[in-house]
Amino acid sequence: MFFKKILLYFPAILILFLVQSFFWVPTYDKQATGNPARLVKYVQGSGGDAQILNPILSADTTSSTISDLIFDGLIDLDKDLKFRPRLAKSWTQYEEAYLAINTSWVVSGEELEKEKGNWPEMLRKALSHDKEWSENLRSIEVINEKTIEGEIEKIGYTLKQPARLKFTLTNINQDFFTPIKNFLGEDYFSKFPYSKFIEPKDPNQQRELEKLYKKILQVTEHNPVIVFDLRKDAIFHDGHPFDSGDVLFTYNSIINPKGTSPRKSDYEPVKTAKVLGPHRIKFTYKRLFSPAFGSWAMGILPEHILNENKLKKEAKKRGRDPKKFIMRDSDFGRNPIGTGPFKFIEWKSDEVIRLIRNENYWDGAPEYEEYVMRIIPDSLTQEMEFYAGAIDNYSVQPHQVSRFLEDNKYQSFSSIGYFYSYIGYNIRNPLFKDIEIRTALGMAIDVDPIIKYVLYGEGERVTGPYPKITEWYDPDVKPLPYNPEAAIKILNSKGWKKNSDGWLEKDGKVFEFNFITNSGNLIRKNILTIVQESWRKIGVKCNTQLFEWAVFLKDFVNTLKYDALVLGWSMGIDPDLYQIWHSSQAGPKQLNFVGYKNAEADRLITRIRKEYDRLKQVKMARELHRIIARDQPYTFLYVTKSTQVLDKKIVIVEKEGNKKERYSKIYPTKDGRIKYYFNQWKKLSSMPSLSINN
């Protein structure tokens, strides 16, 4: 139907275009059989050019795609969405926790009084009954007091830091201090004598400084630690060996105040970074923040090429001011060198990027000898190039899926990803304050036909705030039932009755609001129309409007000046939902723009981002899912399927002991990544035989 409509409007132009596209390149079969070099070259189509091929500076999809082939991180995700070793062959996580000693604390109990001067032994005895606490404790030591000169919010101060107890724990535990607090009592912490240890440089600033005491002197402190043991067999593309200095350099480059890395906030929680040897490095964090671990998937840069002296030399060579010359200015961004499976060869702007395989790759050289990314902005041109065999991949539009499934030349991969669509209600609006009202509005919408007719069946219902493919998502939560009669009953019970015009009315006021989304998105536009009609049927009057994206965000979302909207979230792998759902993030220009506030949800959100035990995270995340699904700040709609197609001649190669090749079908990971085994991909000259495993 889609193509019929286009042909009605542009028959001559389109037919001419299709004919030209067909003759621009050899046919698919000729590409595969007539040119053997084509079999060892993978050609990727991209709608846009890369911006910079430096992993700590790039922010666009194309740059990231290329960088992932050139650079390795310390870790990445495996096929089951768990972290696996890469440049780090292994790692350990533990905790160093601190307690400031309050010498004015009064000990209770004769036996404990004897140990007052020996705090480690006193606490061991006092908490010996707590088996979990005792078994997690590796050691306790006393850190002597010291004097620190500092400044906070332009107030200079002197901190005579009291002696502290340092606890080394086997497992990171956000509740470690709970038994200690129960033993020492509330007064130990609420009446801690800060003024005894903190003095202002300027006595006139005493009152202002008092407000900052708890920031300057933490009575308890959690310091999670990660120690990475690095590979010894990884080398950069220029032959220089990789070591812990490169990891430290990459970290320092990201947090450099003069740098412009968009990933700086991911590394802000790091307190110290320390090289423990050529292939060992330790990162200590200043607070509990479990999402931080995933940041080490960042590609590692070569220190020997990008260090300060090399940048100064490059600046002088190019006639630039060395003091103002930063990494973003370096030619490295267009001529990258990493440790990854492919080496950079060429970049012609808005045309092509070429890579060749790294024969010395630590994880084995890829099957493909060359990787080429062609920049093809027009999606129809991409499709024609794919048909002709000039590119090896094509991301299928929903309306095209059934057609490609019927063609036996292609293998297709449909999967749901991290994105979901929803209707968000501004809970500050009195119309939407009541959970039952929001639930009724959701029950009036039949989502299944939207998936069937608007998405051509390429979608699935979702019920909560996590990606459906992750273990955080609770599969036991059921979607709201489509039940407009029940929705009307709920609204009637809340005092809303239909007037003579058929609209719900209460206290002389019609149930009316504005329902908006961004222009340029046909699916959201259709949802706007469908939902408007669904609500009209139950007597709810909504006025729909479309706004250009920048206006939509600036004038409505960021200012919180809207009633209801259609939007979507593209989520990550981590269960941390702080920015989107915590009540502290409900102000202007923040992501909890619906104004959702729930104390129990806040508690779970805070604990989830401090929890390092995956099973505990799963349990809390699913509880959070159930709470948000119950409260219905969103009407959760669907997750779309993403479909990609490849030639069936492309397979995964598995080498057996006698060097005989065995072929298996390409298959996606849990989150739909088909290129997880890309280094083992190979294009055959003819359709493979039945030896392929199912």
**Among the listed residues 518, 573, 577, 580, the one whose alpha carbon sits nearest the alpha carbon of residue 545:** 518
State how far the Cα of 349 lies from the Cα of 328, in Å rounded to an integer. Answer: 17
Domain end point (choices 168, 199, 224): 224
Same domain, 271 and 125: no
Indicate the SS3 state at residue 388.
helix
Same domain, 38 and 66: yes
State how far the Cα of 329 lies from the Cα of 442, in Å rounded to an integer. Answer: 51
Asked if residues 394 and 381 have their Cβ atoms less than 8 Å apart, the reply is no
Same domain, 566 and 597: yes
Same domain, 530 and 514: yes
The per-type count for the chain, helices as H runs and strands as E runs, is: 26, 29
The 10 Å CB-count burial string (b at 16+, else e) for 633-664 is bbbbbbbbbbbbbbbbbbbbeeeeeeeeeeeb
**Residue 76: inside a domain:** no
Same domain, 595 and 481: yes
* Helix, strand, coil in percent for the chain, rounding step 5: 35, 25, 40
**Residue 486: inside a domain:** yes
Domain CATH number, residue 352: 3.40.190.10
Residue 533 CB contacts under 8 Å (≥ 6 apart), including other chains? none
**Residue 37: inside a domain:** yes
Helix (H) or strand (E) holding 226: strand 220-230
State how far the Cα of 371 lies from the Cα of 358, in Å rounded to an integer. Answer: 11
- Looking at residue 404, its pLDDT comes to 82
Same domain, 150 and 182: yes
- Looking at residue 241, its pLDDT comes to 98
Beta strands in 349-407, from DSSP E residues, in sequence order: 352-357, 370-375, 394-396
Same domain, 501 and 555: yes
**Residue 383: inside a domain:** yes
**How distant, in Å, are the alpha carbons of 98, 111, 184, 191, 576 from that of 121?**
16, 11, 14, 24, 38
**Among the listed residues 51, 93, 89, the one whose alpha carbon sits nearest the alpha carbon of residue 247:** 89
State how far the Cα of 522 lies from the Cα of 550, in Å rounded to an integer. Answer: 17
- 510 bridge partner residues: 505
**Residue 691: inside a domain:** no
**Among the listed residues 467, 482, 463, 478, the one whose alpha carbon sits nearest the alpha carbon of residue 634:** 463
DSSP one-letter string for 535-595: HHHTT-EEEEEEE-HHHIIIIIITTT--SEEEEEEE--SS---HHHH-GGG-STTSS-TT-
Indicate the SS3 state at residue 137.
strand
- Looking at residue 115, its pLDDT comes to 56
Domain end point (choices 282, 311, 340): 311
State how far the Cα of 592 lies from the Cα of 182, in Å rounded to an integer. Answer: 35
DSSP one-letter string for 273-294: EEEEETTEEEEEESS--GGGGG
DSSP one-letter string for 466-502: S-TTSTTS-TTPPPPP--HHHHHHHHHHTT-EE-TTS
Query: Any idea what DSSP says for residue 162?
Result: P
Domain that holds residue 291: 83-87+231-311
Same domain, 543 and 614: yes
- Looking at residue 15, its pLDDT comes to 34
**How distant, in Å, are the alpha carbons of 112, 119, 637 from that of 107?**
7, 11, 58
User: How far from chain centre, in Å, is Cα 308?
Assistant: 31
What's the predicted TM-score (pTM) here?
A: 0.88
Asked if residues 459 and 640 have their Cβ atoms less than 8 Å apart, the reply is yes
* Identity of residue 207: R
Helix (H) or strand (E) holding 664: strand 661-664
User: How far from chain centre, in Å, is Cα 479?
Assistant: 25
Could you identify the residue written with the tokens 């006139």?
204
Question: What is the number of structural domains in the chain?
Answer: 4
Domain CATH number, residue 307: 3.90.76.10
Same domain, 490 and 623: yes
**Residue 483: inside a domain:** yes
Domain end point (choices 266, 281, 311): 311
**Residue 319: inside a domain:** no
DSSP one-letter string for 165-193: EEEEESS--TTTHHHHHHHH-HHHHHT--
- Looking at residue 103, its pLDDT comes to 78
Of how many residues is the chain composed?
694
**Residue 337: inside a domain:** yes
Query: Any idea what DSSP says for residue 10?
Result: S
Same domain, 578 and 471: yes
Asked if residues 630 and 376 have their Cβ atoms less than 8 Å apart, the reply is no
DSSP one-letter string for 591-614: S-TT----HHHHHHHHHHTT---H
**Among the listed residues 523, 593, 595, the one whose alpha carbon sits nearest the alpha carbon of residue 555:** 593
Tell me which residues of the chain have a pLDDT lower than 50.
1-29, 32-33, 111, 690-694
- Looking at residue 33, its pLDDT comes to 47
Domain CATH number, residue 506: 3.10.105.10
Same domain, 218 and 364: no
- Looking at residue 694, its pLDDT comes to 39
- Looking at residue 688, its pLDDT comes to 72
Q: Copy the structure tokens of residue 599.
A: 């104390």
Same domain, 654 and 674: yes
User: How far from chain centre, in Å, is Cα 160?
Assistant: 41
DSSP one-letter string for 627-658: HHHHH-SEEEEEEEEEEEEEETTEEEEEE-TT
